[in-house]
C-alpha cells in the first residue's frame, strides 16, 4: 500500500509537470496571439488615422507627396515593414502579415493600400519584460515541488520500512522495533509503537501466566478430585439426565465403566432422584446425603451434595468417596466406647447404657447388680513377668468374664485391672451371690500364658439397683467402695455395699467439701518439726507439716484429711498452698536472728510433683519472695521417684538447677534397687520411721537402717532419721553415724512461736 502511494506520488508529480507545461504553453500561445491581434488593431487604427492624410493625396494625384507620406509612415511605425500602392512598393515583404486597407474619401472608396506589418517587436518587448520572470517562477515551483516530493518519498520510505518491521515483528521474541529514522514524527510513531508493543507484551505475559496458573489449577483440581475420589456432576431438570465430565477419573478404582452403572449401584437411588426432583421444583434448598454402594462385594460410602442453579434449570453436585472417613468414624466411635486391649466396652459406654438398663429394670420391676472386680496383686504380675504378659492376662480375664455372663449382661473394663459387670433381670441378693460365686470360680482357675501357670485372685464389690441407690454414679461408687472393703478384708473375696460403708463415703464427701472451703478460708496452717544435727548439737532446719485448724473439731493432723484430699483430687491445691506459705516463711525468717539459718523442708505429693508446670510454679514463687533457694528442701517419696523414673529425674534436675535441695522421704519402704537410687539427683535421704521405731526390738530393722546409712554414705548424701522418740534409739542412731534426727524425742511439730522458744531453749542447754 505504501509502495503504491509513492508510485502514485511519482505519477502525480509527472502529470503535474506535464499538465503545468501544457497549460503554460497554451497560455503563452494565447498571449502571443492576443499580442498579434493587438498589433493588428493598432495597425488598423493607424491606417484609419492615416486615411485623412492619404485620401486627399490619392484623390488629387499628388503621387510624390503620397510616396513621401508612405515613406514616413514606414519610418515612424516600427511595426509596419511594407507598404504597396499601385506601383509604389516600400520596405520588405519578408516575414510580414499583409493587410489591405481601403482609402475612403467623402465616404467613397477611392483606392486600396496593402500594408505588411510584424508583431515581432511587441512580442520581444513582452518577452523582455515578463518571460524571464515567469521562467524563474516556474523553475522555483518545480524545484520546490521536487524537493517536497523527495522529502515525502523519504518519509514514506521510512514509514514503509516501519510497516515492514511491524509486519515481521515476532511479539514473543522481540521486545521493540529499532529506530529506522530519527526524524521527529517517525521517531514518535516508532516510540508509540514500541510502547504499544510493551503493553501487548505485558498483557501477553500476564495472559501466559494466567493461562499457566489455570492449567496448573485445573490439574490440581483434577488430581485433588482423583485423590479425594470424587467427581462433579449435573442433573438437567428438563431432561432428567445426570451427566459428569470427570467421572472417568474414578471409574478405574471401582471397575465401573459408565456413570449409569455407578448410579444403578446406589442403594438409595430412588430416594436421591426423588430429592433431585424436589430440588428442581425449588421445594428443597440443597442435598447432602450419604449413599451406599455395593461394588464387587465391597461396601462403599459416597457423599452426594448438590445445589440448584435456578437460571440454568440445572442441579450441580459432587459425589465423593468417604468410605475411609466413615470407617474411621466407626473406629473412633468404637474406640470411644470400647477398651482397645480387651475389646470390652468402657466406662463411657457403661454409664450411658446404665441409664437405659435402669429404666428397663424399673419397668419390669427387676434389680440390676453392679459388680466391681479388681485383680489382686496385678502390679506384682506386671513387675515380675512384664507388661506384655500383664496384657495377655487381662485379655484372658476379659474373655472369661464375657463367657461367664448372659447376653443381656455387660462386661466392661474401666481401668488397668478394674472390670465392671452389670447383671440384669435380678430378683434377689441371693441370686447375685450365687452368680458371683460362679464367676469367681471361673476367673480363679489357673491361667496358662506362654508356659507360665498363673493363679490369680480377685476382689469384688457389689451394689444393687435400686436397693442400694437409684443414682447411677453413686451405684458405681458404692461398688468401688465395696471392692476396697474386700481388699482391706484380705483380698480374694467379694463384698456387698452396706450402710457402714455408705456412711464412710458420705463422710468422705462431706470432709472433702469442708476441706475445699478450709483452703479458701485459710484454716490450714503450718507446723514445724526441728531437725537436729546430733553430731554437732545444733538445729539444722525444720520440716513444714500441715495442720487443719478445724472450726468445730479443733486442730487436725494430716492423718484426718491428706488421704481424702488425695483421693478427692485436691491434694495439689493443698501442696500449692503449703509451698507458697513455706517460701513466704523462708522470706520472713531471713531477717529473724533466731530463725534465719534454718532450712525448711516441704512435702510434695506425687500428684503435685507430676504436674507439668510444677517447676515453673516453684521458680516463680522463689522469684516472687526473693528467697535463697538453698534454704528450701522439697521432700518427695522414694516410691514416687521410682514409679515415674525418667520424668522424675528430669524434673529433679530442673529443681536442683534452681538451687533447691531435694530429700527422698520414707526411704526404705519403696524397695528400690541401688541401681535406681544412684541415678536420682537428691541431697538428703530420710530413713522411714517404721525402721527407726522398732530398732530396739527388730534386728532386721537395725540391719536395714545400718544399710541405709551406708548407702547414704556411699552416695555421699545427707541422712535424716525420722521418728526418734527416745534416748536409746538416739544412741543407736548416733552410733550408726546418722547426722540429722527428727522426732518426738526433741520436739513434735510445733507452731512458729513455739519453735522460737524451742531454739532459744536448745541453744541455752548447749
Dihedral of CA atoms 337, 339, 344, 349 in degrees, nearest 10, equals -20
Choice between 420 and 687, CB closer to Ca ion: 687
Could you say whether residue 485 binds Ca ion (CB under 5 A)? no
Choice between 421 and 598, CB closer to Ca ion: 598
63-76 and 2-59 helices, crossing angle to 10°: 160
Q: Would you tell me how many other CB atoms lie within 10 Å of the CB of residue 556?
A: 18
Binding residues for Ca ion, total number by CB under 5 A:
5
559 binds, among ligand C2E, Ca ion, none (CB under 5 to 8 A by kind): ligand C2E
3-state secondary structure of 666: strand
Choice between 415 and 751, CB closer to ligand C2E: 751
> Which of 519, 525, 530, 515 minimizes the C-alpha distance to 547?
525
Tell me the chain's radius of gyration from C-alpha atoms.
Answer: 66
Smallest distance from the beta carbon of 565 to ligand C2E, in angstroms?
Answer: 8
Binding mask 683-702 for ligand C2E (x = CB under 6 A): ------x-------------
Sole binder of ligand C2E in the list 295, 326, 562, 736 (CB under 6 A):
562
Smallest distance from the beta carbon of 669 to Ca ion, in angstroms?
Answer: 9
Stretches 232-240, 280-288, 294-302, 717-725: which one binds Ca ion (CB under 5 A)? 717-725
Spatial distance between the Cα atoms of 466 and 369, rounded to a whole number of angstroms: 9
Could you say whether residue 603 binds ligand C2E (CB under 6 A)? yes
Spatial distance between the Cα atoms of 86 and 100, rounded to a whole number of angstroms: 12
Sole binder of ligand C2E in the list 559, 675, 764, 765 (CB under 6 A):
559
Choice between 322 and 546, CB closer to ligand C2E: 546
Could you say whether residue 635 binds Ca ion (CB under 5 A)? yes
Smallest distance from the beta carbon of 362 to Ca ion, in angstroms?
Answer: 51
Binding mask 344-383 for Ca ion (x = CB under 5 A): ----------------------------------------
Binding mask 503-532 for ligand C2E (x = CB under 6 A): --------------------------x---
Residue 172 has what DSSP assignment?
T
> Which of 114, 69, 65 minimizes the C-alpha distance to 87?
114
Choice between 163 and 519, CB closer to ligand C2E: 519
**Contact call for residues 479 and 496 (beta carbons, < 8 A):** no
Smallest distance from the beta carbon of 524 to ligand C2E, in angstroms?
Answer: 8
Cell numbers describing residue 545: 507439716
Long-range contact set of residues 46-51: C-beta below 8 Å, sequence gap at least 24: 46/73, 46/77, 46/80, 47/99, 47/101, 47/113, 47/115, 51/101, 51/103, 51/104
Q: At 703, which helix (H) or strand (E)?
A: helix 699-714
Spatial distance between the Cα atoms of 191 and 197, rounded to a whole number of angstroms: 10
Considering only residues 136-195, where is the footprint of ligand C2E by CB under 6 A? none
Per DSSP, the chain holds a count of helices (H) and strands (E) of: 26, 25
Smallest distance from the beta carbon of 477 to ligand C2E, in angstroms?
Answer: 24
Stretches 155-163, 236-244, 387-395, 553-561: which one binds ligand C2E (CB under 6 A)? 553-561
Could you say whether residue 633 binds Ca ion (CB under 5 A)? no
Sole binder of ligand C2E in the list 250, 545, 632, 687 (CB under 6 A):
545
Sole binder of Ca ion in the list 84, 376, 480, 666 (CB under 5 A):
666
Spatial distance between the Cα atoms of 628 and 730, rounded to a whole number of angstroms: 31
Smallest distance from the beta carbon of 701 to ligand C2E, in angstroms?
Answer: 15
743 binds, among Ca ion, ligand C2E, none (CB under 5 to 8 A by kind): ligand C2E
Smallest distance from the beta carbon of 544 to Ca ion, in angstroms?
Answer: 9
Distance of CA 127 to the CA centre of its chain: 102
Spatial distance between the Cα atoms of 290 and 28, rounded to a whole number of angstroms: 108
> Which of 314, 292, 312 minimizes the C-alpha distance to 303?
292
Smallest distance from the beta carbon of 668 to Ca ion, in angstroms?
Answer: 10
Sole binder of ligand C2E in the list 661, 749, 755, 759 (CB under 6 A):
749
Choice between 161 and 736, CB closer to Ca ion: 736
> Which of 470, 527, 580 minimizes the C-alpha distance to 758?
527
Sole binder of ligand C2E in the list 744, 751, 761, 763 (CB under 6 A):
744
Smallest distance from the beta carbon of 545 to ligand C2E, in angstroms?
Answer: 4
Per the DSSP assignment, residues forming a β-bridge with 550 are: 554
Could you say whether residue 575 binds Ca ion (CB under 5 A)? no
3-state secondary structure of 193: helix
Spatial distance between the Cα atoms of 18 and 145, rounded to a whole number of angstroms: 13
Alpha helices by DSSP H, listed for 169-301, are: 184-227, 248-254, 259-265, 269-280
Smallest distance from the beta carbon of 345 to ligand C2E, in angstroms?
Answer: 36
Cell numbers describing residue 8: 502514485
Smallest distance from the beta carbon of 576 to ligand C2E, in angstroms?
Answer: 10
Interacting residues toward Ca ion by CB under 5 A: 603, 635, 665-666, 722
Interacting residues toward ligand C2E by CB under 6 A: 529, 545-546, 557-559, 562, 571, 574-575, 578, 603, 605, 665-666, 689, 722-725, 742-744, 749
Amino acid at each position: 500500500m505504501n509502495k503504491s502511494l509513492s508510485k502514485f506520488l511519482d505519477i502525480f508529480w509527472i502529470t503535474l509537470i506535464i499538465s503545468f507545461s501544457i497549460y503554460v504553453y497554451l497560455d503563452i500561445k494565447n498571449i502571443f496571439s492576443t499580442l498579434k491581434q493587438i498589433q493588428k488593431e493598432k495597425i488598423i487604427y493607424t491606417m484609419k488615422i492615416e486615411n485623412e492624410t492619404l485620401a486627399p493625396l490619392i484623390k488629387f494625384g499628388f503621387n510624390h507627396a503620397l510616396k513621401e507620406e508612405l515613406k514616413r509612415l514606414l519610418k515612424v511605425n516600427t511595426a509596419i515593414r511594407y507598404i504597396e500602392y499601385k506601383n509604389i512598393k516600400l520596405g520588405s515583404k519578408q516575414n510580414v502579415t499583409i493587410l489591405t486597407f481601403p482609402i475612403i474619401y467623402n465616404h467613397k472608396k477611392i483606392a486600396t493600400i496593402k500594408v505588411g506589418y510584424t508583431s515581432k517587436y511587441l512580442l520581444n518587448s513582452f518577452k523582455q519584460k515578463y518571460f524571464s520572470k515567469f521562467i524563474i517562477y516556474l523553475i522555483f515551483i518545480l524545484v520546490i515541488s521536487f524537493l517536497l516530493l523527495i522529502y515525502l518519498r523519504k518519509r514514506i520510505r521510512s514509514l514503509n520500512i516501519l510497516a515492514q518491521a511491524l509486519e515481521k515483528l515476532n511479539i514473543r521474541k522481540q521486545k521493540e522495533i529499532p529506530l529506522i529514522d530519527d526524524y521527529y514524527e517517525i521517531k514518535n510513531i516508532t516510540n508509540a509503537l514500541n510502547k504499544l508493543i510493551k503493553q501487548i507484551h505485558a498483557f501477553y505475559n500476564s495472559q501466559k501466566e494466567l493461562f499457566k496458573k489455570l492449567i496448573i489449577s485445573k490439574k490440581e483440581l483434577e488430581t485433588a478430585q482423583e485423590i479425594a475420589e470424587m467427581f462433579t456432576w449435573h442433573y438437567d431438570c428438563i431432561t432428567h439426565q445426570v451427566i459428569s465430565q470427570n467421572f472417568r477419573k474414578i471409574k478405574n478404582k471401582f471397575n465401573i465403566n459408565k456413570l449409569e452403572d455407578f448410579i444403578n449401584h446406589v442403594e438409595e437411588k430412588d430416594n436421591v432422584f426423588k430429592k433431585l426432583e424436589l430440588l428442581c421444583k425449588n421445594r428443597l434448598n440443597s442435598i447432602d446425603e450419604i449413599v451406599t454402594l455395593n461394588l464387587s462385594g465391597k461396601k462403599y460410602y459416597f457423599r452426594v451434595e448438590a445445589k440448584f442453579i435456578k437460571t440454568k434449570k440445572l442441579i450441580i453436585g459432587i459425589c465423593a468417596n468417604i468410605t475411609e472417613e466413615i470407617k474411621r468414624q466407626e473406629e473412633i466411635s468404637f474406640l470411644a466406647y470400647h477398651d482397645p486391649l480387651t475389646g470390652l466396652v468402657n466406662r463411657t459406654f457403661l454409664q450411658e447404657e446404665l441409664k437405659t438398663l435402669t429404666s428397663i429394670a424399673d419397668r419390669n420391676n427387676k434389680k440390676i447388680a453392679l459388680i466391681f472386680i479388681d485383680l489382686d496383686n496385678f502390679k506384682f504380675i506386671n513387675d515380675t513377668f512384664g507388661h506384655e504378659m500383664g496384657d495377655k492376662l487381662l485379655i484372658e480375664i476379659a474373655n472369661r468374664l464375657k463367657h461367664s455372663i448372659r447376653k443381656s449382661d455387660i462386661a466392661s473394663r474401666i481401668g488397668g485391672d478394674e472390670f465392671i459387670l452389670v447383671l440384669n433381670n435380678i430378683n434377689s441378693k441371693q441370686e447375685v451371690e450365687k452368680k458371683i460365686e460362679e464367676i469367681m470360680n471361673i476367673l480363679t482357675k489357673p491361667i496358662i500364658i506362654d508356659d507360665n501357670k498363673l493363679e490369680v485372685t480377685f476382689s469384688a464389690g457389689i451394689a444393687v439397683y435400686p436397693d442400694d441407690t437409684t443414682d447411677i454414679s453413686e451405684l458405681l461408687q458404692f461398688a468401688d467402695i465395696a471392692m476396697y472393703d474386700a481388699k482391706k478384708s484380705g483380698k480374694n473375696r467379694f463384698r456387698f455395699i452396706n450402710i457402714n460403708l455408705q456412711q464412710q463415703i458420705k463422710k468422705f464427701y462431706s470432709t472433702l467439701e469442708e476441706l475445699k472451703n478450709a483452703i479458701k478460708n485459710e484454716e490450714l496452717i503450718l507446723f514445724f518439726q526441728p531437725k537436729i544435727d546430733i553430731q554437732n548439737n545444733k538445729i539444722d532446719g525444720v520440716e513444714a507439716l500441715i495442720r487443719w485448724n478445724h472450726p468445730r473439731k479443733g486442730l487436725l493432723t494430716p492423718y484426718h484429711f491428706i488421704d481424702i484430699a488425695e483421693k478427692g483430687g485436691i491434694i495439689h491445691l493443698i501442696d500449692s498452698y503449703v509451698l507458697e506459705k513455706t517460701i513466704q516463711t523462708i522470706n520472713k525468717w531471713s531477717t529473724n536472728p533466731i530463725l534465719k539459718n534454718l532450712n525448711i523442708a516441704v512435702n510434695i505429693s506425687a500428684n503435685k510433683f507430676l504436674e507439668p508446670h510444677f517447676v515453673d510454679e516453684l521458680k516463680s514463687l522463689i522469684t516472687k519472695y526473693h528467697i535463697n533457694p538453698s534454704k528450701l528442701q522439697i521432700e518427695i517419696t522414694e516410691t514416687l521417684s521410682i514409679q515415674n523414673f525418667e520424668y522424675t529425674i528430669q524434673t529433679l534436675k530442673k529443681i536442683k538447677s534452681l538451687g533447691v535441695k531435694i530429700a527422698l522421704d520414707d526411704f526404705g519402704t519403696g524397695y528400690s534397687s541401688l541401681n535406681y537410687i544412684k541415678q536420682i539427683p537428691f541431697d538428703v535421704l530420710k530413713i522411714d520411721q517404721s525402721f527407726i521405731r522398732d530398732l530396739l526390738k527388730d534386728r532386721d530393722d537395725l540391719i536395714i537402717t545400718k544399710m541405709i546409712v551406708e548407702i547414704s554414705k556411699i552416695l555421699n548424701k545427707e541422712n535424716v532419721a525420722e521418728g526418734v522418740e527416745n534416748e536409746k534409739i538416739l544412741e543407736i542412731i548416733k552410733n550408726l553415724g546418722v547426722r540429722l534426727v527428727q522426732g518426738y524425742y526433741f520436739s513434735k511439730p510445733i507452731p512458729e512461736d513455739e519453735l522460737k522458744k524451742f531454739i532459744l531453749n536448745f541453744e541455752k542447754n548447749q
